[in-house]
Structures are given as structure tokens and as C-alpha cells.
Amino acid sequence: MTMTQDADGPRPAPTLEMVAALAGVSRATVSRVVNGSPKVDSELAQAVRKAIQALDYTPNRAARSLAKRRANAVTLIVPEATSKVFADPFFATIVQGIALHLADTDYTLNMVISSESKPEKTRSFLLGGNVDGVLVVSHHSGDHSWTHLSGSLPMVFAGRPFVGGNESYFVEVDNEEAACNATRRLVSSGRQHLATIAGPQDMPPGIDRLAGWRTAVREAGLPDGLVEFGDFTLASGAQAMQRLLDRNVPIDAVFAANDQMAAGAYTAIQGRGLRIPQDIAVVGFDDDSFATSVTPPLTTVHHPITELGKKMAETLVNLIEGRPAERVTRLPTTLVVRDST
């Protein structure tokens, strides 16, 4: 039995029956009040709440969950390498947003850093009654083993999924339009030789941001062949910029598909004795800590990552509890102009 301590020594923790006795109501009435039922007379409900406060009673959440057949937990799946997850501020920020929304609910958050190498482990965990719903962040075209579980568990994606996009619930920004606007900023400043460091082409943001860059350079009548690819990491941005510079063709502006790769591009550009923005202007995407840690500070697309996490969690909780939920939510972006353009 759980015990609490008072001046006279240990005493049993308050129970539902003790609350009922103090309030002068039945155990069933206390249970209804604890579970938020509207079918209790307001005066009786007030008496129960006073008794709960007087006894410092804490409802047994495990028992409530069992009664509702819920685990009161949601899982965040990130199909990336552990080293990448902990190096990228995107993941910490989206977790913060998710946690902010869940803080006012009965749900706890756990996280699975998963890959397709052992998909059965993830599937077994998700289908084992451990969680009520799933959030998926940073998915790739090959991440199929858990995507098909949406028929068994409520599931919400960060960005449209490759599979089941017409039926899936997801929250995103318009990556293509945002990248196009960022590139237009470079064109409007008089740049004529635009390059891009694109993201992985097995991820929707990588595909869409490259498409946005191409739209902007084509509408300006400029060539769109100066493209190198990275994997959204700092090192890949530096390597891609080195490859662009090694082409020995004029480059006076670069759009990088995220701020980490933009920061990597800084290293390569400045390592060649070139100046930002005088010789090469740079624009990124995300507006994370990398954008303000480089010199000069980076012009970038503000990606509302915290809000994205909060909206994902809100949508998932609505699905779990049977409330209406928007299938597709698109959040606005803005271009934050700093000294790199």
C-alpha cells in the first residue's frame, strides 16, 4: 500500500472511498467527477472537489487509463541516426512544441529514434498497447514499415508523407513557396549567378525547396544548373559548397535548404578568401541557432518549428479523443533579412 507521512507517522494515501465519505456521496459520484463527467449535480461536484483538495487526493491515472483502454502516452518517431538527431536544433525545437501542448493534457511523450534496419521492433512497440498515437518527424521515402499503421493508431506527420498523403494527417509549411521567396530576395538584390545546396531528394522538404529555387531562377531567366546536394548537416553543406566552387564558374549567391548547410557553406566560402555577402550572398531556411551564430548573421526563412510541434500534438490528441481534427494544416513562414544578403 502506498503510504504518506504526517506528524504521527505513516498513514495510508487518500483513496476514492475516503473522498466519497468526506463529501457525503457515493464512490461512483467521485469517479464521475474525477473523470470529468458532466452528469453530476453542480453542488455535489463542488463538494467532491473540496474533499479532493482537503485530502490532497491524486487520482490513480493508471486505473483511469485502464478503464478507458488508453496508455495516456504518445510516441514521437524520428527515423534518423542518433548523432543527427542530437546535432540538429530542429528536433529539439519540435519536441519543445509537442511538450508544450501535452503539458496541459494527461498524455506523456516518449521518443523512438528508429530506422528501417529493424522495423519490426518499432512496429511491435507501437502495436503493443504502449501508446495511444504517433507523431512522425523527418520521414524519408523508404520509411514504410510504420506508415501503414495509421489504420491501427492515430498518426500525425510533420510534412506530407510519401505514402498515404491523401488520407494522412500532417502539419507543414509551404516549403516550395518559401524557398521561392527566399531565392527571389537574391534575384532582387541583383545577383545573376545563383546556386543552391539542396536537401535530400527522398524527403518532401528537400524536394520542395529545390523546386522553389528552380521556379525563382527560371522566372528570372537565369540558369538552374548550379545544384549540389547535402543531407541537412553542417558537414554536407561545406562539402557541397566546395563542389560548387570547384566548378570554377561564376557564383554570386547561394540558397541552402537549411541553416546548418548554409553555415557549412560559410566555412567553404570564407575558406577560399571570399566575402559574404560582397562576393557571395547566402540565404538559408529554418531560422535556428545556426542562423545567428555565423558571421555575418544569416538571412533565412523563419520556420515556425515550435508552433509546428504544438499543432501536431493538438491534432493527435483530437484524433485520439474522437474530436474533429484538420487533416492538413499549413503554417505561415516569413523571410528574416540579416547581413548575408
298 and 188 fall within a common domain: yes
Q: What pTM does this model have?
A: 0.78
Single residue among 30, 59, 88 that ends a domain in this structure: 59
Q: Report the distance separating Cα 31 and Cα 268, nearest Å.
A: 64
* Confidence (pLDDT) at 34: 73
200-210 burial code (b ≥16 CB/10 A, e <16): beebbbbbbbb
Residue 341 in domain? no
The verdict on 190 and 271 lying in the same domain is yes
* Same-domain check for residues 144 and 221: no
Same domain assignment for residues 184 and 264: yes
* 336 within domain boundaries: no
- Examine the domain organization and report whether 92 and 122 are in the same domain: yes
According to the model, what pLDDT value does residue 142 have? 66
Question: How far apart, in whole angstroms, are the C-alpha atoms of residue 247 and residue 227?
Answer: 11
Boundaries of domain holding 275: 175-304
Query: Within this chain, do residues 188 and 218 fall inside the same structural domain, yes or no?
Result: yes
For the chain, the domain total comes to 3
186 neighbors 281 (Cβ within 8 angstroms): yes
* 179 within some domain: yes
Claim to verify: residue 10 and residue 126 sit in the same structural domain: no
So what's the pLDDT on residue 125?
A: 80
Last residue of a domain, one of 12, 34, 59: 59
Residues 203, 282 within the same domain = yes
In-domain check, residue 67: no
Q: Does residue 68 lie in a domain region?
A: no
pLDDT, position 161: 85
Query: Which CATH number characterizes residue 45's domain?
Result: 1.10.260.40
239 alpha carbon, distance to own chain's centre: 27
Same structural domain, 292 and 186: yes
Instruction: Tell me, yes or no, whether 46 and 117 share the same domain.
Output: no
pLDDT of res. 95: 96
Q: Are residues 90 and 145 in the same domain?
A: yes
Bridging pattern class, strands 155-158 and 133-136:
parallel
3-class DSSP state of 37: coil
Q: Is residue 235 part of a domain?
A: yes
pLDDT block averages, 10 residues each, the chain of length 341: 43 79 89 72 87 77 54 90 88 96 94 71 80 89 64 89 76 98 97 97 95 98 96 97 97 98 98 98 97 98 98 96 94 98 96
Residue 142's domain is classified under what CATH number?
Answer: 3.40.50.2300
Whether residue 294 sits in one domain with residue 314: no
